[in-house]
Amino acid sequence: MSKGEYDKVGTWTFRELISRTELREFYLYFHLDDSNQTGFCDKVKKMQRFFGLSPDGKLSEETLTVMKKPRCGLSDVEPHEGAVRWRKRTISYRIAGENLPFPASRTHKAIRRALKLWSSVSLIKFRRRAAKEADVGIAFVSGADHGDGFPFSGKGGALAHAFLPGLGIGGDNLAVHSCCLPVVAAHEFGHALGLSHSPDPGSIMYPAYNFAPSLELSFDDVKRIQHLYGENPNFHLQSLKRPPPKTPDKCDPDLSFDAVTELQQEVVFFKDRFMWRKHPSFVETRITLISSLWSDSVPSHLDAVYENVEKNFILFFKGDQYWKVQQLMLQEGFPRNISDLGFPSRIKSVDAALHFRRDRYTVFFTGRECWRSVTFSHFPSFSLIWLFVSSLCLNLIIDSSFPAGFVNFFKGNKQYKYDFGQNRVVSVSRANDLMGCEMGKGNKHIS
């Protein structure tokens, strides 16, 4: 542990109190000797791996940010999937109590929407009961202690939990918060049907709730629920106009990126609502949600990203807007139009951004043009320039770029390594060449 997180006499700091509570509730951490940090660090690493963070065992700001995100109250290490499920295909449910988060009609509509996600792809059917005892009891409660032995941690913590199906339980007990009810309910009903948490950040069963505008099951969710209950005969993956979304595979030979950049010591690859983080000290390159680190303040499907190390901020670009983030927090007044940076009105988007730390300037790629911003002045001044990459600017719409000794340009599923000294492209390889994939999976050097 780093200084300030745990002192020599074993006194807990505020951040360690938070983390110990998180690890006890969700990763089965029980400290027998508070002076021994080995077990604690191991559990922190386990949590970091689950959420795609660098597994160093330290309570960094990023780790604490993920710990405090709204999430499900069920443990992430419950080894139950496949061991418990309903032995029948029609499940009854009842909404108990009067403390509804919305008017009754709106609440019932949200619950039906969540249930339909599961019934539309599997053989499970749901039937509502108004008064009689039901298989699944739904209760809306508030406060940390609500009588079932599983307290909520409030805003920024556990919002809901569900008990698994099984003999002696009498069904499920679901308690949800009024925030984004269909999302929370769909997740908790997944547990009620026997599904455990998924490490796939694209899954609705990911422990941190994903409050995306569209509510849908992922490909992984569909296959898992069908494994337990069979496939709905009216549902066929092959016949769908738009199949359930798959989380991108880092070793897919056709993989392309929305943006690639260097943040601190890491290289970060952005794709849709996901990102991979490659740290020089760790072998693993794991996927996570963009929102797991920057909440919902940073959009998905980005065009460009870069970090200004000198001024300690990150800029995210999408369309004609950009977002400024410092210390993981969106700055006041953002997003803004890219014209505020000095771009002329005819520039509607930024394709890529490349920040040169030593010389303190940033190069932006817009279509076939290259622009340079001198960032040590208060208001960046722009000038249209033809750089050493002018041939690339003329012939390629570059998707993303980042500095790593050489300059690597990304176009589609390929990356081009440019050598300053030779003033030319010296090699072409797969875009995911840095992901640590096996050569047999198609991630081969091209030229």
Chain Cα centroid distance, residue 139:
28
Sorted by sequence, the CB contacts under 8 Å of residue 14 that are 6+ apart come out as: none
Catalytic residue among 16, 22, 25, 188: 188
- 8 Å CB contact between 407 and 424: no
Per-residue burial over 88-105, b if 16 or more Cβ lie within 10 Å, else e, is eeebbbbbeeeeeeeeee
Q: Is 143 annotated as a binding residue?
A: no
Tokens representing residue 95 in the block = 């909404």
- Is 333 annotated to bind a ligand? Reply is no
Cα separation, 174 vs 185, in Å, equals 8
329 is in an annotated binding site: no
197 has binding-site annotation: yes
Helix (H) / strand (E) element for 222: namely helix 219-229
Of 262, 251, 420, the C-alpha closest to 355 is 262
Beta strands, E only, 405-442: 406-411, 414-419, 424-430
Judge whether 80 is annotated as a binding position.
Answer: no
Q: How far is CA 158 from CA 58, 144, 162, 216, 422, in A?
A: 22, 10, 11, 22, 55
Within 10 Å of residue 423's Cβ, how many Cβ atoms? 10
Place of tokens 């199949």: 243
**Interior angle at CA 218, CA 437 and CA 88, nearest 5:** 125
301 marked as binding residue: no
**Beta pairing partners, 336:** 322
Binding site annotation covers 108? no
For 359, other C-beta atoms within 10 Å of its C-beta total 10
CA distances from 330 to 91, 271, 337 (A): 44, 20, 15
Whether 78 is a known active-site residue: answer: no
Per the annotation, does 76 bind a ligand?
no
Start-to-end CA distance of the chain, whole Å, equals 44
Cα–Cα dist 56/316, whole Å = 27
161 labeled part of a ligand binding site = yes
Is 145 one of the annotated binding-site residues? no
- Is 200 marked as a binding-site residue? no
154 is in an annotated binding site: yes
Dihedral sign for Cα atoms in the order 248, 252, 255, 257 = positive
Q: Residues forming the annotated binding site for Ca(2+)?
A: 135, 154, 170, 172, 258, 303, 353, 399
Q: Residues forming the annotated binding site?
A: 72, 135, 146, 148, 154, 161, 170, 172, 187, 191, 197, 205, 258, 303, 353, 399
Q: Which residues are catalytic?
A: 188
Q: Residues forming the annotated binding site for Zn(2+)?
A: 72, 146, 148, 161, 187, 191, 197, 205
